[in-house]
Amino acid sequence: MEAVCRFLAALLALGTLCGAEPVKFRDCGSTVGKVLIVDITPCPSIPCILRKGQSYAVNVTFTSKTSSQTSVAEVHGILGGIPIPFNIPDADGCKSGIRCPIRNNQNYHYINSLPVKSEYPSIKVVVEWELKDENGKNLFCWRIPVQIAN
């Protein structure tokens, strides 16, 4: 069963990479890693227009500057300086395209999705996405402006 799950994750990664569109992002404190590429599909321009009721593929290529047995993602919408949590399907980075343990000086492709719930208000917000190591330090942290729309 684990082999099937890994195969499906690899297919998802390949599909995401083939249709991915790199976006301009702002690093917000990647202390034990370095973000190389952020791809959001579809997001042809900034701010990304996120339609309610849809889900968006997120693929982050990063280099780890540490070793870690685990990784956990946190996603927020920053509105007026206040972080509001966004739910993602799985916060465990080791189940999101990354094969753990994470090793120092290795590149990784983190893959997840960002579902936009129908009940979200139609507003402009900054999405902040962090992936933390086992010590709570940021393997990556990036921000992009988005517009949530109908």
Which carries the bigger pLDDT value, residue 18 or residue 27?
Answer: 27
The tens digit of pLDDT for each residue in 69-79 reads 999 999 999 99
pLDDT value at residue 75: 97
The tens digit of pLDDT for each residue in 97-114 reads 999 999 999 999 999 999
Across residues 8-26, what is the average pLDDT? Answer: 56
pLDDT band at 48 (very low <50, low <70, confident <90, very high): very high
Across residues 74-86, what is the average pLDDT? Answer: 95
Q: What is the mean pLDDT of the chain?
A: 88
Question: What DSSP string runs through the chain?
Answer: -HHHHHHHHHHHHHHHHHH--B---EE---SSEEEEEEEEES--SSSEEEETT-EEEEEEEEEESS-BS--EEEEEEEETTEEEE---S--BGGGTT--SSB-TT-EEEEEEEEE--TTS-S-EEEEEEEEE-TTS-EEEEEEEEEEEE-
| Range scoring the smallest mean pLDDT among 5-19, 33-47, 81-95 | 5-19
pLDDT value at residue 22: 87
pLDDT band at 20 (very low <50, low <70, confident <90, very high): low
We find that the CATH architecture of domain 2-149 is Sandwich (2.60)
